[in-house]
């Protein structure tokens, strides 16, 4: 039988605010346990939540960016359950009336087409703390630094049909929230994590199969692997006469498998009800307007502009707009150089990105800024150096040896464009290789490359390649 996979993702994006969603405590990552938890985060008797205004602004920006409805009235509700790292024994979330509803996001598929994924809703909620089970001699430690951290939970429609689509959607959403500046996107620190609802059904069937929810996937790779494993598990189960049960499963990255955590029967009845400590959240037109004004240029728009303004291919434009920082760097380079956007694109996507990757470095901390890169490209443009020499200069710039011009001078890398000087080198090469010359003249055209290589080698790469070509053609004719 042919099977169809149906996937919906619930993504938790930690909002990049300085303080928590309902308290003034810091959200900075990595502090000593329980040093960033105030009375409110600890759920002391008598404390009350007060909503962080910035959190609302960010949620509204997200809603506008995905063409969703930003609710004029939304309501915070309590989700009640007991867990040691949930200080109030309820999580303040949004239930019936979320702040954002009915959005969509377009993803690019492998075959070059695109697909629109529906976003059911996005709601605000607070994170819980962390339970630490190691090093406490049979007891558990509770760290409440994370308790009260603002989250935007983004729930997709079950529109995804494969693990690859799920990853493409997740990456697109990741790009979006980072672009908007509302999430730092750091997946290792849990700033962007995913629960996947996965089910299978016979192809052509319209009814959804029973789903399993895989919790807490914190990398693109885990999402892909966990979903793939889960699809196979469900198909195998059904084909061998079994039934998928509705349950929550955990992905074990070491074993590459998902494991049952709790079944539907064991599931909590969360007893949601509107939180009486918080008034309904009312957003007027002025607030939504202001959020719209805060929106940066979004990836899709930027990509189209790059194609039109710089004459870039869809591929180049899409790579360069992967992140706002990369796009900004590219545009700064083009502006500084004042010409050759394609040359700039090649360098930003090529050597520059490769060096960043190699050193695992952010653009913000790159040793070569856009102005400096443009300084190098200007020397290619005015033929002071060749593209090949430029790579050597770039490496030196990356190592902190200074500006392009200084390195070119210091190392004597200036390109040789003087015709007579090049001719002199060519003559030397021809004289040194009489055998190859004879073969070439006998019709072995392939040897042309050999002569180019020898000339470049003898000139230490400094001879202008175009001139070398032109002159060699003439000289080899004899």
Q: Would you tell me which residues interact with another protein (CB under 8 A)?
A: 39, 42-51, 78, 80, 82, 84, 87-90, 142, 269, 271-273, 276-279
In angstroms, give the least distance from the CB of 156 to another protein: 25
In angstroms, give the least distance from the CB of 137 to another protein: 15
Q: 236 or 277: whose CB is closer to another protein?
A: 277
From the list 338, 369, 289, 11, the residue with the least C-alpha distance to 167 is 11
**Angle at Cα 340 formed by Cα 334 and Cα 343, nearest 5°?**
90
Give per-residue burial for 333-372: e unless 16+ CB within 10 Å, then b: bbebbeebbebbbebbbebbbebbeeeeeebeebebbbeb
In angstroms, give the least distance from the CB of 42 to another protein: 6
Q: 146 or 303: whose CB is closer to another protein?
A: 146
Q: 46 or 449: whose CB is closer to another protein?
A: 46
Residue 278 near residue 124 (C-beta atoms within 8 A): no
In angstroms, give the least distance from the CB of 83 to another protein: 9
Q: 118 or 141: whose CB is closer to another protein?
A: 141
The enclosing H or E element of 119 equals: strand 114-126
In whole angstroms, give the CA distance from residue 140 to residue 133: 5
In angstroms, give the least distance from the CB of 90 to another protein: 5
**Beta-strand (E) ranges in 182-268?**
192-202, 212-217, 247-252, 257-263
In angstroms, give the least distance from the CB of 58 to another protein: 19
Rounding to the nearest 10 degrees, give the CA dihedral for residues 388, 394, 399, 404.
120
Residue 212 near residue 231 (C-beta atoms within 8 A): no
In angstroms, give the least distance from the CB of 57 to another protein: 17
Q: 77 or 455: whose CB is closer to another protein?
A: 77
In whole angstroms, give the CA distance from residue 345 to residue 208: 45
Please report how the helices 419-432 and 465-477 are oriented relative to each other, as an axis angle in degrees rounded to 10.
50
Q: 279 or 290: whose CB is closer to another protein?
A: 279
Handedness of CA 230, 231, 234, 235 (dihedral sign): negative
Q: 278 or 458: whose CB is closer to another protein?
A: 278
């Amino acid at each position: 039988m042919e099977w169809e996979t149906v996937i919906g993702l619930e993504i938790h994006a930690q909002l990049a605010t300085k303080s928590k969603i309902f308290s003034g405590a810091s959200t900075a990552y990595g502090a000593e346990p329980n040093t960033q938890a105030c009375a409110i985060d600890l759920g002391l008797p008598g404390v009350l939540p007060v909503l962080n205004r910035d959190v609302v602004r960010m949620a509204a920006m997200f809603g506008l960016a995905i063409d969703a409805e930003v609710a004029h009235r939304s309501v915070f509700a309590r989700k009640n359950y007991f867990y040691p790292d949930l200080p109030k024994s309820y999580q303040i979330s949004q239930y019936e009336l979320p702040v954002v509803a009915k959005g969509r996001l377009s993803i690019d598929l492998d075959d070059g087409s695109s697909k629109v994924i529906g976003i059911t809703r996005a709601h605000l909620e607070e994170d819980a703390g962390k339970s630490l089970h190691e090093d406490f001699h049979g007891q558990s430690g509770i760290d409440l630094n994370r308790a009260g951290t603002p989250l935007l939970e983004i729930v997709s429609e079950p529109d995804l049909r494969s693990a690859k689509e799920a990853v493409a959607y997740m990456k697109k959403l990741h790009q979006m929230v980072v672009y908007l500046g509302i999430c730092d996107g750091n997946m290792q620190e849990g700033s962007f994590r995913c629960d996947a609802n996965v089910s299978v059904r016979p192809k052509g069937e319209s009814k959804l199969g029973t789903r399993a929810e895989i919790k807490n996937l914190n990398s693109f790779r885990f999402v892909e692997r966990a979903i793939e494993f889960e699809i196979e598990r469900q198909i195998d189960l059904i084909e061998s006469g079994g039934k998928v049960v509705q349950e929550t499963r955990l992905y074990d990255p070491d074993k590459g498998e998902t494991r049952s955590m709790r079944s539907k029967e064991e599931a909590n009845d969360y007893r949601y009800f509107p939180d009486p400590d918080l008034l309904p959240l009312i957003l007027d037109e002025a607030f939504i307007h202001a959020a719209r004004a805060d929106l940066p240029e979004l990836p899709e728009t930027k990509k189209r502009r790059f194609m039109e303004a710089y004459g870039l291919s869809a591929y180049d434009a899409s790579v360069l707009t992967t992140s706002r920082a990369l796009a900004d760097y590219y545009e700064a380079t083009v502006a500084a150089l004042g010409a050759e956007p394609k040359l700039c694109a090649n360098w930003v996507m090529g050597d520059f990105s490769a060096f960043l990757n190699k050193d695992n470095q952010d653009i913000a901390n790159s040793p070569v800024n856009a102005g400096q890169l443009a300084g190098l490209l200007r020397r290619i443009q005015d033929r002071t150096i060749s593209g090949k020499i430029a790579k050597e200069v770039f490496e030196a710039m990356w190592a902190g040896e200074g500006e392009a011009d200084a390195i070119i001078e210091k190392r004597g890398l200036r390109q040789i464009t003087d015709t007579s000087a090049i001719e002199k080198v060519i003559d030397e090469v021809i004289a040194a290789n009489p055998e190859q010359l004879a073969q070439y003249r006998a019709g072995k055209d392939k040897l042309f490359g050999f002569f180019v290589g020898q000339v470049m080698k003898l000139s230490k790469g400094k001879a202008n390649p175009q001139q070398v070509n032109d002159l060699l053609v003439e000289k080899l004719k004899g």
